[in-house]
Amino acid sequence: MSERLQPGDTAPDFTLPDADGNEVSLAAHKGRKVIVYFYPAAMTPGCTKQACDFTDNLDVLAGAGYDVIGVSPDKPEKLAKFRDKENLKVTLVGDPSKAVMEAYGAFGEKKLYGKTVTGVIRSTIVVDEDGKVERALYNVKATGHVAKIIKDLGI
């Protein structure tokens, strides 16, 4: 079971391919706040709702100094289909090895329909300008989560 991050921890750096196969790294966002959210799979109902909510609020978040990166175990080809089908503007990156998810505590045991399974734990990590964890939210709901983040961050 991977360790969950706590506020004040240094966010693990990562470099992962985006939907177009370009490398995206957390270090490249130094000096800006970043919302890194982890979701189980592109093109599933909950994950689509969440990605659309982030896209719909991207201007508000960017205006408050936040970049948004969505991480799933999907390959870039599937992410590109997801982005194009849903008209997503949020940066989506793939972590097929799940190494980054594990480093963030977003992969491990979770309850699914009353059963314990191993998989992606829907999580959102807010990283400050210096690369430190500002907030670490685990087992979040897909619906209404973006509105809650905006409210909690005082945006």
- Residues marked active site are found at 47
From the number of C-beta atoms within 10 Å of its C-beta (0-12, 13-18, 19+), residue 139 rates as exposed
Cα separation, 57 vs 34, in Å, equals 14
* Torsion region of 12: left, alpha or beta (phi above 0 gives left; psi -120 to 50 gives alpha): beta
Which residues, in sequence order, are CB contacts of 76 under 8 Å at separation 6+?
A: 17, 18, 19, 20, 21, 94
Q: What is the DSSP letter of 10?
A: B
Residue 39: its H or E element = none
Residues 83, 92: contact at Cβ < 8 Å?
A: yes
